[in-house]
């Protein structure tokens, strides 16, 4: 484990960015329940579990117009 401590200054911010991205996306999925395709129960796991790609796909392709 010791050898990974050196990398913490990079891993922690990366992790935080990931969390921010996922949470923003989840909030948006819940608050705006009209999507271009897909359903809420599909989007929530996609946005939460598919790294950076999930939120990206949601905001660019899946997000419905307000």
Site residues (CB under 8 A) for another protein?
A: 7, 9-11, 13-14, 17-18, 20-21, 24, 28, 52, 55-56, 59-60, 63
Q: Cβ closer to another protein: 15 or 42?
A: 15
State the nearest-atom distance from the C-beta of 21 to another protein, in Å. Answer: 5
Which alpha helices (DSSP H) does the chain contain, by range?
2-5, 8-31, 40-49, 53-57
Q: Cβ closer to another protein: 14 or 42?
A: 14
Name 34's Cβ contacts closer than 8 Å, sequence gap at least 6. 64, 65
């Amino acid at each position: 484990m010791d050898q990974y401590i050196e990398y913490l200054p990079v891993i922690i911010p990366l992790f935080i960015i990931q969390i921010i991205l996922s949470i923003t996306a989840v909030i948006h999925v819940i608050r705006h329940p009209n999507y271009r395709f897909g359903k809420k129960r599909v989007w929530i796991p996609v946005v939460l579990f598919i790294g950076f790609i999930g939120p990206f796909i949601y905001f660019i392709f899946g997000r419905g117009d307000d």
